[in-house]
Amino acid sequence: MRKASYLSILVRNKCSTSASNIRTAQSTEIFRSSFFSAKSANVTVSASDLDDLVKTEYVRPSLLIPVFQIAGTTLGIATKFLPNSLSKAVELTVNSAAIEQLNDCVRDAQAENNDEVVKETFKFHRDIISNSDLTDNNDHKVNEAAVTVVKQIFNASKCL
């Protein structure tokens, strides 16, 4: 395993597309994990392979991870007290934003010809959300404006 100083990692990966996408995917899944844990939903979100990717690719984790944990937890707790239909709409919004964000990461990784492990990790997380019962259905419509806002929040972790 190669060794690198923290400073060289920061300089090399300051805001490259690959590093940005890894940070964003990790932050997205940490947010979702905190959200569903606080909501006491029967959903398990694991970011451990993204944590491993951060280490193997020598990417500095986002400085905003604690903020994403707090925001996800806060939204999850608040959602517990909403009516069921509104609670479901918030879940769908969070998942739709995560799917779109991970799709963007996959597209960027393909355009940049990233390592297959990076692309497959993004695809794995996207596909798990897409195949869950927590995606858009006919009973609940996702507000595209809300999805865009959540996605922009996820994008904040790209360089921070």
3-state secondary structure the chain: CCCCCHHHHHHHCCCCHHHHHHHHHHHHHHHHHHHHHHCCCCCCCCCHHHHHHHHHCCCCCCCCHHHHHHHHHHHHHHHHCCCHHHHHHHHHHHHHHHHHHHHHHHHHHHHCCCCHHHHHHHHHHHHHHHCCCCCCECCECCCHHHHHHHHHHHHCCCCC
For 111-121, what is each residue's pLDDT tens digit? Answer: 877 677 777 88
The band of 130, judged by pLDDT with boundaries at 50, 70 and 90, is confident
Q: Is residue 19 part of a domain?
A: yes
Q: Is residue 160 part of a domain?
A: no
Kindly report the average pLDDT of the chain as a whole number: 75
Q: Which residue has the higher pLDDT, 138 or 32?
A: 32
Q: Is residue 36 part of a domain?
A: yes
Whether residue 107 is predicted with pLDDT greater than 80 in this model: the reply is yes
Whether residue 14 is predicted with pLDDT greater than 50 in this model: the reply is no
What is the structure's pLDDT at 77? 92
- Domains identified in the chain, total number: 1
Domain hosting residue 63, numbered range: 6-155
Contacts of 69 (CB under 8 A, 6+ apart): 30, 31, 34
Q: Is residue 1 part of a domain?
A: no
Whether residue 106 is predicted with pLDDT greater than 80 in this model: the reply is yes
What is the structure's pLDDT at 16? 63
For 44-66, what is each residue's pLDDT tens digit? Answer: 666 677 777 777 777 777 788 88
What is the structure's pLDDT at 63? 81
Whether residue 13 is predicted with pLDDT greater than 60 in this model: the reply is no
